[in-house]
Amino acid sequence: MESKTVSIAEIPDIGSSTQRLAEPEVARRIERYLSNLKKAEVQEPEHNDLLGFFGLLQNAIRSREISQKVPEGKGLLILAQDPPEEINTEAVTFFLGARNAGQYGRGSMGTNGVKEVVPHLRSIQNHPEHAGEKLVTMGRLFDNVVRLRVYARDDLTALRRVFWLENVIDSFRWYFRVHGIRQVLEMGVGEKEQVTIGELLLTRYPMSYFVQTEDIYQFGSQELKYAELNAIVKTDE
């Protein structure tokens, strides 16, 4: 059966750090969201990887704008490149700064751990479509440094948008976790920059986040046997 999606309007905004909802209400809204996910048959591995994280981040931003009743066309532009020459609102770009084999079995970011340099078995279960076969799930962790750049037409607006974006990411940390993003940790905000795009002089603030993601892939047990046989043949050659 084809998976459905949950609309952005159904993603609960549990509030900012200064206007956070009471814990019982937070729990109730998250529980309702998880229930909606289950009913919609959304598969979590779709969001585990880095591209999935970028999609989740966009959803979180839109959900906050909905809760703040931001008029259509006045929200934050989310771009994968520098802003166009004419912008009527603020913008944020995102790109990959670094990517390494993920470490597991560690405490906080930067402490020693074991790097997952090859995929490892996550689970084996009965294949939902092929009787008598097993569905094998493999996964591999990646430690990513994600670079965000916030653009605005003046210094104060850009700084306010940086604080706003920090708050969104902090407030929706539960949302990233639900969809398989293991860690989202802020690494810091860089110095203010002045950039010219077209005829516009814009203020830009760079932001950095550590994001641990997981690449997931699945195959049937017959494929696994074929792969093992291939490996034996190549070893004997």
Task: Flag whether the pTM goes above 0.75.
Answer: yes
Whether the pLDDT of residue 81 is over 70: the answer is yes
State the distance between the two ends of the chain, measured CA to CA, in whole angstroms.
43
Q: And the tokens for 57?
A: 């981040």
Average pLDDT, the chain: 81
Burial class (CB in 10 A: 0-12, 13-18, 19+), 83: buried
Burial class (CB in 10 A: 0-12, 13-18, 19+), 234: exposed
pLDDT of residue 45: 44
- The β-bridge relationship of strands 134-152 and 120-126 is antiparallel
Whether the pLDDT of residue 223 is over 80: the answer is no
Distances, alpha carbon 168 to alpha carbons 15, 29, 222, 227, 237, in Å:
9, 17, 45, 44, 56
Mean pLDDT of 88-99: 89
CA nearest neighbour of 166 among 27, 51, 16: 16
Whether the pLDDT of residue 67 is over 70: the answer is yes
Architecture of domain 8-236: 2-Layer Sandwich (3.30)
Phi, psi for residue 205 in degrees, rounded to 5: -120, 125
Residue at 167: amino acid letter: N
5 vs 15, which has greater pLDDT?
Answer: 15
